[in-house]
Amino acid sequence: MRVPLVMPDLDLPPQQAIAVSCWLVPLGRAVCEGDRLLELAAGEVTVDLPAPATGRLVQKSVAEGETVAANQMLGVIQAE
């Protein structure tokens, strides 16, 4: 089953840009639910986004440095 990695609503002001700082897991790597997948930056705030399921990261839909919005798909995990 494919599980989407979706950008959560961080409850920040609408004008606050949120960007992908870095992917912490390479494409194709196995992950466990709760593992840190990527780091997001919003001004001086940094947030780690955890894996929503155990499986393998099979898709990265956004690049490092790209600005993202709430509910945007960031990637996909192929769940085990």
Is pTM beyond 0.85? Reply is yes
Give the max Cα distance, the chain.
38
Q: How far apart are CA 73 and CA 8, in angstroms?
A: 10
Domain ranges of the chain: 2-79
Residue 14 has pLDDT above 80, yes or no: no
User: Left if phi > 0, otherwise alpha if psi is -120 to 50, otherwise beta: which for 11?
Assistant: left
CATH 1.20.210.10 fits 2-79, yes or no: no
Q: What is the pLDDT of residues 23-68, one digit of tens each?
A: 999 999 999 999 999 999 998 889 999 999 999 999 999 999 999 9
